[in-house]
Structure 1
Amino acid sequence: MKLQHHIGGIENLGPVNLDTRVFAEPWEQRIFGIHTAMMAESAHLADALRAYPVKDLPTRFKSDWTWASLRTGAERMQPFEYFKFRYYEKWLGGIAQFFIDAGYIRADELTEKTAFYRAHPDAALPDRPNAPLATQINTYLQQGDSGYHEPAHAPRFAAGDTVRIADPAPVDHTRLPGYLRNKTGTVDVVYPGDFSYFVSTGVDGVGKPMAVYRVAFDATEIWGPDKTEPNTTIYADLYEAYVLAVN
């Protein structure tokens, strides 16, 4: 899994796509909308810092779904499959597999529906969200789901400290960019408060709320002088679990 999270700088993966459009195809907007609706209905919002009335929503969706769910589905893909598909195709595959695994739809039902809409592209789509659900989605888009917590203890590092980035064991999902593993940088900013993530990443280290740092890296430390423009600094926001003291 290390390979597929923030893969900047890895050679021989083909040309860089410079397309600046958010959505290259109309169907991609619908995939983004499905993901957004799922996040707004996620069962974990009942216990979020900004609690939502998700238990009262008129919906059959009763699961947790967050950005972590989306990335976990993509990152556990077979690497050659991961690099073969477009960005929102990965989203579609992860969302579809989630609904199958969670029992909302059978694989054969999904295949049947897919075949139907391919044969009848102008057929009516399912109804739009009902009014309470539409209100919930709009509220979630405006208010979000904060991961901020009052700090439980002082941060381990301060601005100006030289630190080394960890290289934890591979897991289903991580928040550590692969190209920063084992690199050395300087703490630039210590963000106030502690921050949690949607899920625990297990042995990867992110679980309970913790400090988050903005760490600065000389680009030559990451990619070497032959592949770096002069005087280039790379900044990354990193959970404290990924930041180690330099021995």
Structure 2
Amino acid sequence: MKLQHHLGGIENLGPVSTETRVFVEPWEKRIFGIHTVMMAESAHLSDAIHAYPVKELPTSFKNDWTWASLRTGAEDMQPFEYFKYRYYEKWLGGISQFFIDQGYISAEELGEKTAFFRANPDAALPEKPNEAIGAQIGAYLQKGDSGAHALDGATRFKAGDTVRIADPDAVDHTRLPGYLRNKTGLVDLVYPGAFSYFVSTGPDGIGEPMPVYRIAFDAAHIWGSGKSEEHTTIYADLYEAYVLPAH
């Protein structure tokens, strides 16, 4: 999570939205639906814990698409551009650019279709019902694409250990909140099993299944006593790749 995508502790960014609705505008549901269908048809599901018949699906979509794909697209936005757009507008931008980059549609074609529906907002959208894809989406929503693997060996740390958080080089996508880098915390819980992520983050360290820890941090140690309420603890679930011995 790069700066603009995880703002814990950053000051002077204006008022914080307290909106509690998941979807504020009707079109946001459609964007969420497109993303969900892409994940349900993603090629990587062939190797998921719950195996899916992805190769037999009657679809022209043949790429990997995961939450990491969506987040990487948002994190790659220029920060000032990032703050201009609503949450699902960022999703739409990332999805649209992905389809252009992968050759499913050209920028010119997308521009033409956008212009058409702006001029004809009541025009019927393409509709191609497909029972096989519908069943795949239903199975994906129930089973997902990740879960705990059997742990091969012992964990490096146990509950009660004092640990330090790593500061790896920046990569396209990371699961380490920036404000926790180089901070010291206490292992509060060791989750049973080992966990993988949707994609390898390369030098960042996420790849093969590994233990995940819930680590407790004193808020004052993270943001300073002047910016934290007393007796406040911050908890973070972190992959073992990000956790180092305290000394």
TM range (shorter): over 0.9
Counterpart-to-counterpart distance in 1, 2:25 and 2:221: 37
Q: Which amino acid aligns with 2:212?
A: V
Partner of 2:167: 167
Query: In 2, are the aligned partners of 1:147 and 1:197 still within 8 Å (CA)?
Result: no
Q: CA deviation at 1:141?
A: 0.4
Superposition RMSD in Å: 1.1
Query: In 2, are the aligned partners of 1:5 and 1:177 still within 8 Å (CA)?
Result: no
Structure 1 gaps, min length 5: none
Counterpart-to-counterpart distance in 1, 2:174 and 2:208: 15
Q: CA deviation at 1:129?
A: 4.1
Q: Does 1:188 align with 2:188?
A: yes
Q: CA deviation at 1:146?
A: 2.0
Partner of 1:144: 144
Equivalence map 1:39-78=2 (5 Å):
39-78=39-78
* TM-score, length of structure 2 as denominator length: 0.97
Query: In 2, are the aligned partners of 1:151 and 1:210 still within 8 Å (CA)?
Result: yes
Helix, strand or coil: the match of 1:84? coil
Q: Does 1:28 align with 2:15?
A: no
Helix, strand or coil: the match of 2:28? helix
Q: Mark the CA change 1:183 to 1:132 in structure 2 (over 3 Å): closer, same or farther.
A: same
Counterpart-to-counterpart distance in 2, 1:230 and 1:193: 34
Q: Which range is displaced more, 52-61 or 125-134?
A: 125-134
Query: In 2, are the aligned partners of 1:196 and 1:207 still within 8 Å (CA)?
Result: yes
Equivalence map 1:1-247=2 (5 Å):
2-247=2-247
Q: Which amino acid aligns with 1:69?
A: S
Query: In 2, are the aligned partners of 1:165 and 1:183 still within 8 Å (CA)?
Result: yes
Q: Which amino acid aligns with 1:209?
A: P
Deviations 1:68-102 (CA, angstroms, capped at 9, x unpaired): 00001111111111122111111000000000001
Counterpart-to-counterpart distance in 2, 1:17 and 1:212: 31
Counterpart-to-counterpart distance in 2, 1:21 and 1:2: 25
Counterpart-to-counterpart distance in 2, 1:120 and 1:25: 19
Query: In 1, are the aligned partners of 2:200 and 2:206 still within 8 Å (CA)?
Result: yes
Deviations 1:192-232 (CA, angstroms, capped at 9, x unpaired): 11111011101111111111000011111111111112211
Counterpart-to-counterpart distance in 2, 1:144 and 1:36: 11
Counterpart-to-counterpart distance in 2, 1:79 and 1:203: 23
Structure 2 gaps, min length 5: none
Aligned residue-pair number? 247
Q: Which amino acid aligns with 2:238?
A: L
Counterpart-to-counterpart distance in 2, 1:5 and 1:204: 17
Counterpart-to-counterpart distance in 1, 2:54 and 2:213: 33
Q: Which amino acid aligns with 2:233?
A: T
Query: In 1, are the aligned partners of 2:189 and 2:213 still within 8 Å (CA)?
Result: yes
